[in-house]
Chains A and B, each alone.
Chain A
Amino acid sequence: MTGAVRERPPALAPGAVGSRVIVWMIGLLFAIPLVSMAEFTLRDGDGGHSLVHWFALFDPANRASYSPIWIGLGNSLVLCIGAAAIVLLLVLPTMVLIALRFPRLRRPFEFLCLLPISIPAIVLVVGLAPVYLVIGRTIGTGIWPLSLAYGITVLPYAYRAIQANIDAVDIATLAEAARSLGAGWGTVLLRVLAPNLRTGILASLLIAVAVVLGEFTIASLLNRPNLQTALFVVNKQDPYVAVILSLLALGFAFALLLVIDRTASIGVRRGTRPPTSAEKVTP
């Protein structure tokens, strides 16, 4: 991928016209469903178009019927915080520990972290059901324990984002240098390693948020409402509001991933290149 920022002789790429034609054609085809969604939200019921359904979203009279959505959104935000906490407090320290103390465990550790990609969520949920039955009896049926399952879903993406950054900055040397200058481990972690890994950490957190906001399978089959299951339920009574919120959610996720891409390209300029969002989601 280092070739990506290098000057490319034109012979390899298609001509300027050809590449534009292909990208625009595919882009237009892929725009049709999104345009259809937007058009659908503007239908006012008598064959005309207006913003009536967009205004209805904020109408106090509809508060009761839309309440599942606000509950689901709130739950999803709790789950985002939970998954982000797992990445920050559990995955990241373990990865640093492996890089500094157990370099030989790197391959097996990588295998474990990427494993959730090969286990479909629908399979995992079959085994999670009995686990959450126990959790429901002991800890309670609140929403936050679900973030423990989401931590597993997020793990491959978070791993790739952070590992690429760890590989790029040689944290073993940094830690050794800081230690030999008299820094304690707390200082090494917070004031030496964390700033050097910030693009990887930020990218892993953003991707965790995106994955959790889009998760449906586990929440739906464990009967714990989140944003996606709420959209699914509300769609049956009021498809307009479900589609409006879907559009907003898609736009929000797009903005998040664009930010990841930007932070990655800032890394390029500074010479410590974390991966683009594209590489991050590649298992």
Chain B
Amino acid sequence: MSLLTTTPVGAGQSGQPLRRVPPAPRVRRIRADILGLLPFASYLLLFLAVPTVLAVGSGFFDSNGGFTLDNVAALAEPVIVATFANSIGLSLLTAVLGAVLGALLCYALLGFRADGSVRATVAALSGVLAQFGGVMLAFAFVATIGLQGLVTVWLRESWGIDIFAEGAWIYGLPGLVLPYIYFQVPLMVITFMPALTALKGTWVEATLTLGGTRAAFWRRVAFPVLAPSFLASFLLLFANAFSSYATAAALASQGSQIVPLQIRAALTSETVLGRENLAGALALGMIVVMGLVMWAYAVVQGRAARWQK
């Protein structure tokens, strides 16, 4: 006890000096636990935070490392504005078509057993086409509607229709629409199916016993419940198309019509519009658009999640 009296905080006066001992190993334990978080934290810092900051920040510097707004100002150049408009237009169009077709497919899948092989096959196929396609989707569409594609040749020889009478649009912006829909519909199935299966059969029964009709159920119950989920899935589809690169890189050979291809041009040939770090400014522009979309997604998803518990 004589040792304890030397502690300056007056531990001896409290009359229960031993109470102070147990917290020590606990503090050490928590410190050790925090050390356990360090490897992952430093990994995220090095390979997520640093690249993102570098990507977005590099647009503000010139080749000598001096601060400049020149690159960011380039975002207002007509060429770049047109590229962003192309990207946003393509993403909107394919997201709308993908969302509608995908929702229709989800609805039809309700008619099959939840643990049956049809749903399992569609789920796996959707995963492949939504996540895995990339370059290979470009090959698929060249084989289908390319200059010598199966469908092109069939239309030309059987029906006398030349789909390229107006030029080889498959290698330009319009050529991206079909391949994009091809990965948007599966993504819609993946994201919207959980919302649709969360609709409870008892809600139909409740509507019917209260004197409603099936149409009234869809209009007054299912639609309001599903609308946030549908909108959230649509936003995700938009973000997916907007950030997609591989299919366009493999397919579009005429110029850089969408932002990711413009970034490629800026990265590989160093100067676009006579500017050194334009890739950074374009990356910043993409992040701003993506940030807005994902923010809207979070808001809408918060509403949608209410009905999926």
A175 → B minimal CB distance (Å): 13
From A12, A214, A254, contact of B199 by CB (8 A) = A12
| A123 pairs with B283, CB closer than 8 A | yes
Which of A9, A130, A213 contacts B205 (CB under 8 A)? A9
Cβ of B72 within 8 Å of any chain A Cβ, yes or no, is no
User: Shortest CB–CB separation between residue A109 and chain B, in angstroms?
Assistant: 9
Nearest to B189 among chain A residues (CB) is: A278
A–B Cβ pairs within 8 angstroms, 27 of them: A1-B198, A9-B202, A9-B205, A14-B107, A19-B110, A23-B122, A30-B182, A33-B137, A37-B144, A94-B37, A124-B51, A125-B267, A126-B58, A127-B54, A131-B54, A152-B48, A210-B127, A216-B134, A216-B246, A217-B249, A220-B249, A242-B139, A246-B139, A257-B125, A257-B127, A268-B115, A281-B190
New A-B contacts (14) at CB < 8 Å, excluding given A5-B115, A262-B120, A281-B190? A11-B205, A12-B201, A23-B105, A33-B144, A94-B37, A119-B48, A119-B287, A123-B55, A151-B43, A217-B245, A228-B136, A242-B139, A246-B139, A278-B127
Check: A36 CB closer than 8 A to any chain B CB: yes
Chain B residue at minimal CB-CB distance from A213 = B132
A276 on the interface (CB 8 Å rule)?
yes
CB pair B139 A214 closer than 8 Å: no
A97 B267 Cβ-Cβ under 8 A? no
Contact A26 B105 (CB under 8 A): yes
Q: Which of A56-64, A74-82, A231-239 contacts B (4 or more CB under 8 A)?
A: A231-239
Q: Which of A19, A32, A126, A279 contacts B144 (CB 8 A)?
A: A32
B139/A278 in contact, CB under 8 A: no
**Is A144 interfacial (CB-CB < 8 Å)?**
no
Scan residues 85-130 of chain B and give those whose CB is less than 8 A from a CB of chain A: 101, 104-105, 107-112, 114-115, 118, 120-130
Residues of B within 8 A of A221 (CB): 264, 267-268
Which residues in chain A, 5-30, are within 8 Å of chain B measured between CB atoms?
Answer: 5-9, 11-16, 18-23, 26, 30
State whether B112 touches A90 (Cβ < 8 A). Answer: no
Cα–Cα distance between A127 and B279 once the two chains are bound (Å): 10
C-alpha spacing A125/B260, complex, angstroms: 11
Q: Which residues in A have their C-beta under 8 angstroms from that of B193?
A: 278
Closest to B150 in A: A36
Give the chain A neighbours of B141 by CB distance below 8 A.
Answer: 33
Q: Which of A253-283 contact B (CB under 8 A)?
A: 253-254, 257-258, 260-262, 265, 268, 276-279, 281-283
Residue A3 is within 8 A (CB to CB) of chain B in the complex: yes
In the bound complex, residues from chain A placing their C-beta under 8 Å from that of B133 are 214
A169-191 interface code vs B (CB 8 A; 1 in, 0 out): 00000000000000000000000
Partner of A216, one of B107, B114, B127, B135: B135
Nearest chain B CB to A16 CB, angstrom units:
6
Q: Assess whether A250 is interfacial by the CB under 8 Å rule.
A: yes
CB of A48 closer than 8 Å to a CB of B: no
Please give, as numbers and ranges, the residues of chain A lying within 8 Å of B202 by CB-CB distance.
9
The residue of chain B having its C-beta at the shortest distance from the C-beta of A32 within the complex is: B144
B149 within 8 A of A: yes
* Bound-complex Cα distance A148 to B45 (A): 12
Q: A1-B194, A243-B143, A254-B125 are in contact. Are A228 and B200 (CB under 8 A)?
A: no
B135 surroundings in chain A (CB, below 8 A)? 216, 228, 231-232, 246
- Whether A168 sits at the interface, judged by CB under 8 Å, is no
Residue pair B143, A250 in contact (C-beta under 8 Å): no
Chain A proximity of B220: nearest CB distance (Å): 15
Contacts of B39 in A (CB 8 A): 90, 94
A228 and B140 within 8 A (CB): no
Q: Is B300 an interface residue (CB 8 A)?
A: no
Please, which residue of chain A has its CB at the minimum distance from the CB of B286? A123
CB contact under 8 A between A40 and B150, given known A33-B182, A214-B133, A232-B250: yes
Known contacts A4-B197, A11-B214, A254-B128; is-contact A122 B286 (Cβ 8 Å): yes
B11 located at the interface, meaning its Cβ lies under 8 Å from any Cβ of chain A in the complex? no
From the candidates B54, B132, B150, name the one contacting A210 in the complex (CB within 8 A).
B132
B residues near A90, Cβ cutoff 8 Å: 39-40, 43
With A8-B110, A131-B46, A265-B115 already in contact, the answer to whether A124 and B52 are too (CB < 8 A) is yes
Proximity bits, A207-218, B CB within 8 Å = 1, else 0: 000110111110
A136 touches B (CB below 8 Å): no
Interface presence of B280 (CB below 8 A) = yes
- Mark interface residues in B267-294 (1 if CB within 8 Å of A CB, else 0): 1100000000001100100110011001
| Given A33-B144, A228-B134, A152 contacting B124 (CB threshold 8 A) | no
Residues of A within 8 A of B50 (CB): 127, 131
Contact (Cβ within 8 A) A250 B107: no
The answer to the question of B151 belonging to the interface, with a C-beta cut-off of 8 Å to chain A, is: yes
Q: Nearest chain-B residue to A149 (Cβ)? A: B47
B147 within 8 A of A: no
**Cβ < 8 Å to A, chain B residues 18-54:** 30, 33, 36-37, 39-40, 43-44, 46-48, 50-54
Q: Which of B44-78 contact A (CB under 8 A)?
A: 44, 46-48, 50-56, 58
